[in-house]
Amino acid sequence: MKVGDRIKFYRKKRGFSQYNLSQVSGISQSYLSSLEANEKSPTVNTLKKICRALGICLAEFFSEETTAQVPTFLQPLLEEARYLTDNQCEILAQFLSEIRKAKN
């Protein structure tokens, strides 16, 4: 799936109009429209803004997996992690790694 198609997919999944997403992300509606039409390619910074507005991380944006493939007991953790910044996700990953190491 192309980047513009993914933006449109996640936008609709979240129930956002192009106008709503443009307001939340700070990206103009006309530029967002051209991204979704695959006429333009976003910079990494622009894509981060869009993902943040959609409540997803870049990894999820490009992932071929869906939440349905995640075990049920991990889905609440994944849902909460969607609202973390990239830095917070890194800290959480380190914390979880330390917990795992302490268990062994």
Domain hosting residue 84, numbered range = 67-103
Q: Are residues 35 and 55 in the same domain?
A: yes
Distances (CA, A) of 21 to 32, 38, 59, 99: 8, 17, 19, 37
Separation between Cα atoms, residue 23 and residue 21, nearest integer Å: 5
Q: Are residues 18 and 58 in the same domain?
A: yes
Q: Are residues 57 and 78 in the same domain?
A: no
How many domains is the chain partitioned into structurally? 2
Bigger pLDDT: 11 or 85?
11
What CATH code is carried by the domain that includes residue 18?
Answer: 1.10.260.40
pLDDT digits (tens, 9 = 90+) for 1-56: 789 999 998 999 888 999 999 999 999 999 999 999 999 999 999 999 999 999 88
Name the nearest CA neighbour of 18 among 2, 37, 3, 1.
37
Q: Are residues 29 and 48 in the same domain?
A: yes
Q: Are residues 23 and 74 in the same domain?
A: no
In this prediction, residues 68-97 reach a mean pLDDT of 79
- pTM of structure: 0.62
Q: Are residues 57 and 71 in the same domain?
A: no
pLDDT band at 85 (very low <50, low <70, confident <90, very high): confident
